[in-house]
Amino acid sequence: MGMNKNTVLGFATLIMILVGLGLIALGAFRYNEVAGWGFAAVGFGFFCIAWVFNALKGRV
């Protein structure tokens, strides 16, 4: 399987979405204090970075 730049960016986007979902789930279900907001914010940040990777996919 050839790992060109688009494939690598696709995998990175998928991994970041999964990690973002995991962090948001941790913030929502595991921690009820202020730490939960931090986890959710970091998870949302992962979504933003994944969106940037997805936007770059065709241009790199």
1 pLDDT higher than 60? no
| Domains: count for the chain | 1
Helix (H) or strand (E) holding 9: helix 5-25
Question: Quick one: what percent of the chain has pLDDT higher than 90?
Answer: 0
Q: The whole model's pTM is what?
A: 0.60
Tell me which residue range forms the domain holding 51.
5-56
Tell me: pLDDT of 34 over 80. no
